[in-house]
A and B are shown apart, each in its own frame.
Chain A
């Protein structure tokens, strides 16, 4: 999978490495900004109140 992506990136090794870094940062950004905030309330790690439900 990652090998496939690497082979399909344009340019020489340096350019590929740079593009990979940008891609990784983009993925981390999307995870932190959208995916994790969405997933967090669905996981039972952070309920602090007592209630009837």
Chain B
């Protein structure tokens, strides 16, 4: 700082003074000052990156997810006459409601690629273990992933889910009501067994209709995975007014 002021005063006093005669700070002082400024800049950029990750990506993802969700609802409304049947997996297969975790609905799409999850949706696994969709009516595991932080942070409050809490999956004509029965607060990211059709780590030994939520933990990092398991309790038909099941009231 002092060096800069010195030089400026000098320049003001003798504006026509030629460059070589100017007595600025020595080369070492210059180098230290530039290095310091670079460090400050790096700090600011890292700070901005935090703002970007934890705030801006949420803004973008929520905007995108809202648009996509509206599109799915519009499709459901307009294709009323065609009746149940064809499942449109491209736009999203339905919505997840987890009142204990998130007041809003979470759009569910096919796949767990980064680009897909970055749009503020939950994705069902197609790899390494393929999820069984509840709409198929078969026994299996409906395994989902979503972001814990940034990009909508749809599973941010997954740690608030306790045993017995409802997880409701909404499709065009059915409500699938699940109840949480097991939580694994920390596991390796290579532990793909949690996605198995019969997730043994949750304590289940028989085939059934399960749901698995996975995300990263601890918050703000992705060193481990957090897993929540639920089991299908009942299926309700969607009525004309789309009255929500009692768990969501």
Contact = CB atoms under 8 A, between A and B. Distances in A.
B192 A50 contact: yes
Interface in A22-47: 28, 31-32, 36, 39-41, 44-47
Contacts of B38: 1
Interface string A11-28: 000000000000000001
Given A31-B45, A39-B49, A41-B114, A47 B222 contact: yes
Contacts of B195: 50
B97 interface: no
Contacts, number: 82
Interface centre among A28, A36, A39, A51 (most CB of B within 10 A): A51
A49 B49 contact: no
Contacts of A50: 128, 145, 187-192, 194-195, 214, 225
27 contacts: A1-B37, A1-B38, A7-B8, A32-B48, A32-B52, A36-B48, A36-B49, A45-B53, A45-B220, A45-B221, A46-B53, A46-B114, A46-B149, A46-B150, A46-B222, A47-B189, A48-B214, A48-B222, A49-B112, A49-B125, A49-B145, A50-B128, A50-B145, A50-B192, A50-B214, A51-B127, A52-B190
Interface of A: 1-3, 7, 28, 31-32, 36, 39-41, 44-52
